[in-house]
Amino acid sequence: MQDSLTMNAISETNFNFPGQTAVYHGKVRDVYTIGDTLVVIATDRISAFDHILPKPIPHKGAVLNQIAAHFLNATKDIVPNWLLAVPHPNVSIGKRCEPVRIEMVIRGYLAGHAAREYKAGKRVLCGVALPEGLKENDRLPSPIITPSTKAVEGHDEDISREEILKRGIVSEDVYVQMEKYTYALFAKGQQMANERGLILVDTKYEFGIADGKVMLIDEIHTPDSSRYFYLEGYEERQQKGEAQQQLSKEFVRQWLIENGFQGKEGQQMPFMPDEFVNTITDRYIELYEKVTGKKFTRNSYTDVNAAIESSVVQFLASHQ
């Protein structure tokens, strides 16, 4: 039996807000368009290996939405962003921008994709030269930007600054502004992480254009878009060649692998016992509190969808 909170988790939304012109259901978030305004609802769906898992995770959406809001508000003096309001823990309302089809990936350490490429013998990543003699998870001499294309379909691809400009994906003026913002955001993110006993290893930013200005869009510095290491013990682990302690949803992927699922053809999604669902909830809440330094409040709505709808309708009515 699932407890009432698990029953109350948000597995899907089907709202019809006043003035709504479009809706997009992503893997995790549902985006409602109302004129020049976007209503983004962070559901409790969880994905891994490009598959949505069979059970929603109570409070996960609220965790991710509030981490993103925390960092968007903390960096709005550095970069203008799309966020207007967070009327409900699962809801962000913001300005609709024309997205730039480039993800600005920035790396302070040789980890993840960059480490795999380096191990395979590559010393130039997205047009950026890497020094010899690096080990996985070593700090880079200085942060590097390794952009990727934002594919409408299929997988994103690594791309260099030169290729972006050559293809005319964005103008040089816009790209230079995105670069400047990316370095500044990452510096602020690293500083905030260090204050919480963490290392912001790498992350990605997405930008859009509104009223002729470059704006930060989407989420930032969440565990879904960023990699964090624990600061304590980092140096010692590197010297010993040990794996770093990560703050991420990697443990979910690990559980799936142990249960014979990596999203490959013919593999069946394993059954998720309620105990594991509750473990994921607890880990996400722990993660929220570690990253933000704030206490997480679990919702106690008898009908979370009704609470979301009411909060959005009230916001729209007061901003007409």
To which residue do tokens 């624990």 refer?
A: 230
* Mean per-residue pLDDT over the chain, rounded: 93
CB crowding 187-210: b at 16 or more within 10 Å, else e: ebbbebbeebebbbbbbbbbbbeb
Domain 4-96+268-318 architecture: 2-Layer Sandwich (3.30)
| Residues contacting residue 85 through CB under 8 Å, at least 6 positions apart | 92, 93, 94, 315
Mean pLDDT of all residues in 167-190: 97
User: Percent of the chain at pLDDT above 70?
Assistant: 96
Coil vs helix vs strand at 212:
coil
**Whole-prediction pTM value?**
0.91
Mean pLDDT of all residues in 125-143: 97
CB crowding 23-38: b at 16 or more within 10 Å, else e: beeeebbbebbbeebb
Full 3-state SS string of 151-173: CCCCCCCECCHHHHHHHCCCCHH
Strand partners, 47: 52
Mean pLDDT of all residues in 288-293: 94
Comparing 244 with 250, the larger pLDDT belongs to: 244
CA 233, chain centre distance (Å) = 25
Fold (CATH) for 98-241: D-amino Acid Aminotransferase; Chain A, domain 1 (3.30.470)
pLDDT at 4 over 60: no
Number of other CB atoms surrounding residue 16 within 10 Å: 8
* DSSP class of 245: P
Phi, psi for 203 (deg, rounded to 5): -165, 180
To which residue do tokens 């722990």 refer?
A: 286
Most confident listed range (25-29, 53-57, 189-193, 266-270): 189-193
pLDDT at 188 over 90: yes
Q: In the chain, where are the structural domains located?
A: 4-96+268-318, 98-241
pLDDT recorded at residue 152: 61
